[in-house]
Copies of this chain bind each other. A is one copy, B any other.
Amino acid sequence: MDIRTPDIAAYVADVGRRARAASREMARAATDAKDRALLATAAAIRRERAALVAANAKDLDAARAAGEDPAFVDRLALTDTVIESMAAGLEQIASLPDPIGEITDLRFRPSGIQVGRMRVPLGVIGIIYESRPNVTIDAAGLCIKSGNATILRGGSEAIHSNQALAELIREGLESAGLPADAVQVIETTDRAAVGELISHPEYVDVIVPRGGKSLIERIARDSKVPTIKHLDGICHVYIDDAADLDKAVRIADNAKTQRYSPCNTMETLLVAQGIAARVLPPVGRIYVDKGVELRGCPRTREILAGAGIACAEATEEDWRTEYLAPILAIRVLADLDEAIAHIATWGSGHTDAIVTEDYSKAMRFLREVDSASVMVNASTRFADGFEYGLGAEIGISTDKLHARGPVGLDGLTSLKYVVLGSGQVRS
């Protein structure tokens, strides 16, 4: 099914037109029909497990033959666990409330009209992602539930898996009386398809790029369609001198070591000088025990050296680096003002936390740190759609417009004004 289309532009335009047409039907689809499509797809995924594994095997063989590293092959694999989690994910999305059609703030105005806002789908969502085939199902599920049509462009290494999954989604949509074109997978591995997909605001309302930073940067720079994205997750924990020592150690440990690769993992630990000598030795020992490489400012190194803990010298480069690895930058600062300034200068607007028992400083941190998620006395690892109660997420946004932070179903919708009158005219 890996076709090489001679005229990519015409092919993507055709996909775009079908998506636009399907989006009109999806926008008025009943909740019940959308949920039936999701549940039918979940059932088909469980039923067709063998066929999915067979399609996936083609991708896995090709990836191994191409010499891809084991981590890459792992991400590509549709194991029994991944297949079950895709099906369960769709069932979970089906169980979420339908955001579409909700009317809020409907109020009478002095003119006699009632004005409110109705939540409606964005229209057509283009999703560009790398080699994890489970994203095909997650993204399709969220778009179906939110009444959008979607065009999916997964990594070319997963083309057979994605095609097989797309077939099951199509079947699920049709069984519920919804348009099969509501979810389309780009059927070519030609990279020019991405360029086309991001060039047509008439077909696509928003692009969600997921994957490595260079991919996302390139798409955001070239796209003629608005994007929902995040580039970096340079997350900070600031341990204030009024911090509870136990909470500080627990949070600094968890924010770094619970998992190293997620975007909400702490990359730089900031410590107030008044508490540094008490908090750095115990937390430093935890890091060393867990194999985390430390890079600190001179004061950090001095304190850690006094406790017999090795710590390399940090440079400015460390303040701006998202390691996604067992490496941590540490800086001792005078106070909250310096911490806020450090985060404003070096942070990426993703997730930043303060550990403090001081009410006024907690409030200042919440107000003044301009990031998608700001936290008091909690691990940055909580910045996640499920932990926030969104039920699911299509990604995390560090943009300020539209969706910010974890993006759930609401982030794939828009609010339009509705006016209910009884013949009013303007005077």
Contacts and interface: CB of A to CB of B under 8 A. Distances in A.
Nearest to A363: B101
Given A258-B426, A375-B419, A416-B374, A401 B251 contact: no
A421 B377 contact: yes
Nearest to A246: B423
Interface string A393-427: 00000011110111000000011111111111111
Given A115-B388, A382-B113, A388-B417, A101 B367 contact: yes
A425 B258 contact: yes
Interface in A74-131: 101, 107, 109, 111, 113, 115, 118, 120, 122-123
Contacts of A251: 423, 425
A372 B244 CA distance: 49
A250 B423 contact: yes
A373 B419 contact: yes
B368 A28 contact: yes
A250 B425 contact: yes
Interface string A238-249: 000000101100
A422 to B, nearest CB: 6
A366 interface: yes
Given A107-B389, A416-B405, A422 B368 contact: no
Nearest to A100: B367
Which of A115, A206, A344: most chain B CB closer than 10 A?
A115
A198 to B, nearest CB: 14
Contacts of A115: 387-389
A296 to B, nearest CB: 23
- Name the prevailing secondary structure of the A interface residues: mixed
A107 B387 CA distance: 12
A388 B389 CA distance: 31
A140 to B, nearest CB: 20
Which of A101, A250, A424, A426: most chain B CB closer than 10 A?
A426
Nearest to A384: B426
A382 B424 contact: yes
A273 interface: no
Contact of A424 (B109, B370, B371, B377): B377
A232 interface: no
Nearest to A388: B115
B404 A402 contact: no
Contacts of A321: none
Contacts of A272: none
A138 interface: no
A409 to B, nearest CB: 15
B379 A425 contact: yes
B370 A206 contact: no
Contacts of A418: 366, 373-375
Interface of A: 24, 27-28, 101, 107, 109, 111, 113, 115, 118, 120, 122-123, 205-206, 226, 244, 246-247, 250-251, 253-255, 258, 344, 353, 364, 366-368, 370-379, 381-383, 387-389, 399-402, 404-406, 414-427
18 contacts: A24-B344, A28-B368, A113-B382, A118-B367, A226-B399, A246-B423, A247-B423, A254-B426, A370-B416, A374-B419, A377-B421, A378-B419, A382-B424, A382-B426, A388-B417, A402-B402, A404-B414, A404-B416
